[in-house]
Amino acid sequence: MGFFSDVYYCLIDPVVDAVKENPGKTALIVGATVATGGAALAAAPAIGAAASAAGLGVAGGTLSGAAASSAGLAALGGGSLATGGLGMAGGTAVVTAAGAVTGAAVSGTAVAVTSSKDA
């Protein structure tokens, strides 16, 4: 067997089977993941400002408003585009991904706990 067929049978196939067997639970987890990722995306400017106020970035703690938001998001994104980082877009992606992963973990755990009680 090749690498891709091994990956399919070890990783992808069990996930596909779990989704087929539990479509309602899968929908709940996906919904929570999308909701928390969307909330994190909407909150990214505020999170960027908080990151700047906490001291991240070149002028961390000295900026306010949109400048603080921009600097904080750029710091979370690995720095400005000019310095080789991903800039504000990278910071927004980090914040959104962190929110989505948190939502998936919490909802997945909640589904697993309630499923074990049903069995």
Q: How does pLDDT run across 21-70, given as a tens digit for each residue?
A: 989 999 999 999 999 999 999 999 999 999 999 988 877 788 999 999 99
Tally of domains in the chain? 1
Residue 43 domain-assigned (yes or no): yes
Nearest in space to 65 (alpha carbons), one of 50, 80, 84, 83: 50
CA angle (50 as vertex; 45, 55 as ends), nearest 5: 125
- What is the greatest pairwise CA distance in the chain? 58
Q: Quick check: is 42 in a domain?
A: yes
* Interatomic CA distance for residues 67 and 48, integer angstroms: 10
Which class for 23: exposed (0-12), middle (13-18), buried (19 or more C-beta within 10 A)?
Answer: exposed
The pLDDT score that the predictor gives to residue 76 is: 95
Asked whether residue 6 is assigned to any structural domain, the reply reads: no
5 falls within a domain: no
Residue 73 included in any domain? yes
pLDDT, mean of residues 13-20: 84
16 domain residue, yes or no: no
Q: Residue 38, CB half-sphere, CA atoms under 13 Å: how many?
A: 6
Q: How many residues does the chain have?
A: 119
Predicted pLDDT of residue 2: 76
CA distance 98 to 103: 9
Domain annotation covers residue 105: yes
Which domain, by its residues, includes 111? 23-118
Domain membership of residue 12 (yes or no) is no
